[in-house]
Structure 1
């Protein structure tokens, strides 16, 4: 897909910038505690933690208490006792989470809400880092594009999470090399031999169809979730000048104003999106498309919820 963005300086300058403040604190200020608890709870069963999760070895029966996962209720035992009863399992050791992030130039393009796709991808990564830190999980990073791949081993703790998130932030830029999420996924495949939860953050029409064998192998070895950031259409900006991010090619206003051009652009994106979604469904990969920071958390919750149901 040809990603696009207005040529005004405020929207086409460097996307990433180093921030001195705590990224985790900024996320905490934006999220409600009940929402955080629900999101962390949805990770249970998908991903093991030293603080919460489901093991394979049965431990005991216990009375249900507020905050317990209703999915653990043993309905037959509850009926016989007259009280809700849950089954508890021994907790398993940590299973690392891996962020696989597309930091190529296409992420400098605009999302439908007018922010850059990098802004949304950055916020999604921040939320995942915040959840991982709160759960006591370990988080690793593989981020890159056609020419660069950065990898950071899985560790836990606030300092590690902050460093990892700042590294992602610094890689987003309009002058970054072109995207190649397949390059990033291949590195995940060769670097992580133990089963992990891999969360991919990329463009709405990626991973590309050419990455099918990589996706298939990743899905066999790891749990795989894909967060796709939506791209704004070049016809969505009226009389505002628009440039192509991947190539310095201006799109004339008379073309953007034509209804048939707008419809053709929408159809082309829809076809590519449909092809990618079909490829991911073949391997049971759950995906979600995020259009703005405002809907990012709700969409992540939906992704985790669907992913958990698929496991049950």
Structure 2
């Protein structure tokens, strides 16, 4: 049984603060850039006009319609149809492979879960509907959710409080995503860097035709690095022979992983998806904040400096 994460977790506190400190217009703009734009029956977008009302303190200045304001003699705000999704599907790989260790000392499932919490914080701030789907080789379940961020925390923790005894089944999780009939709903898939092969990438391309897709990709430790001499294989409990642990082997593994990550990012980007890759919860949080910052600056999304985190952007 995995240990339960405590309220003292620094990243968890940062995520909780994120849910309350960002203004609603900021959240809407950031999430809109992340997921791409399409119509929904909500206010504050840039498509069909829903209604017009006088300007009130706190309204965004860019919502003022100057032609209408000139005719009425006072500032008027045009409320338009919002160009974002109203539902977020969070798909979490709960296979035993997710108990693999990361450079930070965390297990992969902990980093993945914190990645989902970041999206939940903003999505719930925007009053979106969230569904959490967990899958391994023994089962695939959709957890019911109603409420705010605290309720999401409880639901996610219950999903994480398990034995992690069964191998992953990424094909089943992706097949579930393909059957989601709510077109344009945001799909956030959380797994580790070893889960996506050619077949799974082909499935992601199909899903991205109908949904904005974000892949939370957790980077695990390089077992050939000297400082990880005590790392053991999760299935057999065996350790690498000492003569294999050297800088040459470690460098080759790092190069290969960076190549695969760049290829995955390119494929997702071409299909309109986004890759968020990081080796720790802190790095994942920094990547998430970097993405939001770029969206607020109006510069679009690009890859941050460094090999451990990459972004794509919906075309």
State the TM-score, normalizing by the size of structure 1: 0.74
| 2:176 corresponds to | 187
Q: Is the 8 A contact 2:43 2:80 kept in 1?
A: no
Please state whether the residue corresponding to 1:225 is helix, strand or coil.
Answer: strand
| 2:214 corresponds to | 225
Instruction: Report the Cα distance in structure 2 between the residues aligned to 1:290 and 1:244, rounded to whole angstroms.
Output: 21
Higher relative contact order (CA 8 A, sep 6+): 1
| 2:256 corresponds to | 268
| 1:148 corresponds to | 139
| 1:124 corresponds to | 115
Change (3 A) 1:225 1:30: same
Instruction: Report the Cα distance in structure 2 between the residues aligned to 1:170 and 1:105, rounded to whole angstroms.
Output: 13
Q: Which runs of 5+ in 1 are unaligned?
A: 1-13
Change (3 A) 1:137 1:240: same
Which deviations, in whole Å up to 9, do the C-alpha atoms of 1:122-175 show, x marking residues without a partner? Answer: 22222333333333221101111233211135x54137524431233224x5x4
Q: Is the 8 A contact 1:74 1:86 kept in 2?
A: yes
Change (3 A) 1:263 1:168: same
**Offset at 1:88?**
2.9
Q: Is the 8 A contact 2:89 2:133 kept in 1?
A: yes
How many residue pairs were aligned? 289
Please say if 1:15 is aligned against 2:5.
no
Q: Is the 8 A contact 1:105 1:246 kept in 2?
A: no
- What's the RMSD between the two structures over aligned residues? 4.1
**Offset at 1:98?**
0.5
Instruction: Report the Cα distance in structure 1 between the residues aligned to 2:84 and 2:106, rounded to whole angstroms.
Output: 39
Change (3 A) 1:264 1:134: same
Q: Which runs of 5+ in 2 are unaligned?
A: 303-311
- Counterparts of residues 1-312 of structure 1 (less than 5 Å): 14-17=1-4, 29-31=16-18, 33-35=20-22, 38-39=26-27, 41-44=29-32, 46=35, 53-54=44-45, 56-58=47-49, 59-60=51-52, 68=60, 87-90=78-81, 95-153=86-144, 155-158=145-148, 161-171=152-162, 173=163, 175-190=164-179, 192-195=180-183, 196-238=185-227, 240-256=229-245, 258-303=246-291, 305=295, 306=300, 310=313
**Offset at 1:302?**
3.8
**Offset at 1:193?**
0.5
Change (3 A) 1:85 1:141: same
Please state whether the residue corresponding to 2:215 is helix, strand or coil.
Answer: strand
